[in-house]
Amino acid sequence: MSNLFNIDIVNPEQSFLSKDNVFEVVIPAVEGEIGILKDHIPIISFLKPGIIRVFSESEEQNFYVEDGIVEFKDNTLSVLTSSIFDLKNADKNFVSESISSAEAELSKDNIDDQKRFLLNHKVEVLKSISIN
C-alpha cells in the first residue's frame, strides 16, 4: 500500500504546484502547524504566515505563504493562496521589503490583537528566511 497523496497549490493567476507523490505536508494553519499524511480526515482551515513543507519521495520543498485556505479531501490537499514563493529562489529585496512594511504596519496604534499577532509572526518568519 502506498502512503502517497496529491497536493495542488494554486494561486489566482495559475496552478503553482501539482504533485501526486507526497507523503507528508506540514502547513502553518492559524491555530498551529498541522502535519498531513495520507487518509487524514477531511479538513478545512486557513493559513497564517509561515512555511509549507512538502515531503515527497525524492525531495523536500519549502514554500513561504502569507495567507490562504487549505482543504484536504479524498487524499487531495488543495492550498489556495495569493502570495507564495519557493524558498530556494526567494528574492532578498522582496523579503526585506515585506519585513519593513509589516513593521511599519505594526507601529500603527489602531490594530487589533489578532492582527498584531499575525504581523509579529510574519516578521519572525520572514527574518528567519532572510538569515538563511
Partner 1 sequence: MPSLDDLRKRITSVKSTQKITKAMKMVAAAKLRKAQENAEKGRPYSEKMNNVILNLSKSITDKENAPKLLVGTGEEKVHLCIVLTADRGLCGGFNTNIIKKAKSYFEKIISENKTLKIITVGSKGYDQLKRQYKSYIVENISFKESKNINYFDADKVGKIIIEKFEKNEFDVCAIFYNKFKNVITQIPQEQQIVPLNEDKDDKDDSNNDNDYEFEPDEDEILSNLLPKNISTQIFKAMLENSASEQGSRMTAMDNATRNAGELVDRLTIEYNRSRQAAITKELIEIISGAESL
Question: Are 104 and 96 spatial neighbours (Cβ–Cβ below 8 Å)?
Answer: no
Contact stretch for partner 1 (CB under 8 A) within 58-66, 74-82, 87-95, 100-108: 74-82
31 binds partner 1 (CB under 8 A): yes
Q: What pairs with residue 47 in β-bridges?
A: 29, 68
| Cβ neighbour number for residue 94 with a 10 Å cutoff | 11
Contact call for residues 70 and 54 (beta carbons, < 8 A):
no
The separation between the first and the last C-alpha atoms of the chain, rounded to the nearest angstrom, is 37
One of 20, 33, 39, 44 touching partner 1 (CB under 8 A): 44
Does residue 131 bind partner 1 (CB under 8 A)?
Answer: no
User: Identity (one letter) of the amino acid at 130?
Assistant: S
Q: Is 15 in the site for partner 1 (CB under 8 A)?
A: yes
Q: Does 41 bind partner 1 (CB under 8 A)?
A: yes
User: Site for partner 1 (CB under 8 A): which residue of 26, 43, 106, 111?
Assistant: 43
Binding site for partner 1 (CB under 8 A): 8, 10-15, 29-31, 34, 41-46, 69, 71, 73, 78, 80, 82
